[in-house]
Each structure stands twice: as structure tokens, then as C-alpha cells.
Amino acid sequence: MDKNQSASFPHHTLSLLGVEKEHVRKNVPAYQLQLKEKDNSLRIISVVIESMKHWSQYTNKVPLLFEVMGILDSAVTPGQYGAKTFLLRDGKESMSCVFYEIDRELPRLIRGRVHRCMGNYDTKQKLFRCVSVRPATVLEQQTFQDFVKIADAEMSEYVKKSNEV
């Protein structure tokens, strides 16, 4: 179906608690359906720190969860409310991270080793709020850059399409 075609939904009747409800035929451009389908879904994207800071500006348009790999560049320090804070670095970029030990403890992290962190970036506090932290496997480290390129391309396409609508 190309951009100019419309997706058509057939008339059908739905029975809910004995009440009949007629659904009307809708003609909606296919490109709007495709964008709308993806619009509300959570996107988990692999990023380097620099691109995470860039893509985080779109979290008001699409829910994003970031996967970041980097080297633990500090000691893990305890904070208020079960918080554990640390610095993560990937090349020249670094960021402050926090993990709250609410339902599980932070695993033992080793300074100088590569770790995989999942979470959201707070642009106002310049803080990465981790929901998962663990040492990265060798295979994950080897394939990570490929995933970053794919995620960057997909997010660029998403932004381009959302600006067209």
C-alpha cells in the first residue's frame, strides 16, 4: 500500500454486554496508520552517550528506553533512597548514572570494565536513570556498534516521517 492509498475498515457489529454498536467505515491514509501504529509503542534503542543525549529530546513524542554500553569510570557511591551513583564513559563522552535498589540490588560493578545499562535520560538533571545494569558480554560488545547504527537510522527515519505529517 503506497502513501496515497487509503486503508479501509469494513462495517462490522460488535456485541458488548448485549449492546450492539455499529462501527463506521473510515478512510485514513496508509502512511498515517503506519506512523500511528508505531507512535505509541515503546522503542528500545542502542545508543552511544552522544546520540542518547540527542534522541532524548524526542521522548515527549515517542516512549524511549535507551541501551548504553560504557566503561565504569568511578566508584559506585550510595545515595538517598537506595540510590547508587556512578559515572559511565564511552570514548570521550561520559555521564552520571543512578540506579535505585528498589526491587533488586545493583550487581557488583568493576571499574574499568564495560557495562550494559538500560534506562532513561533526564535532560534537566543530566542524569541517566538506570532500570538495569550489568557487565556486558563479549558478544554484546562486538555487536553493539551495529545496533547503534540501525537505531540511529530508524530514529532518523521516524523523525523525518513525523515531521512530514
Gap between the Cα atoms of 163 and 165, Å rounded = 6
Prediction pTM value: 0.74
Tell which residue, 70, 44, 37, has the closest CA to residue 155. Answer: 44
pLDDT-based confidence at residue 15 (cuts at 50, 70, 90): very low
| 164: its cell numbers | 512530514
Whether the predicted pLDDT of 14 surpasses 50: no
Q: What phi and psi values does residue 70 have, to the nearest 5 degrees?
A: -165, 175
- Over residues 68-91, the pLDDT tens digits come to 999 999 999 999 998 999 999 998
- Over residues 45-73, the pLDDT tens digits come to 999 999 999 999 998 888 999 999 999 99
Taking the CA atoms of the chain, what radius of gyration do you get in angstroms? 21
Higher local confidence (pLDDT), 7 or 121: 121
What residues does 132 pair with on adjacent strands?
118
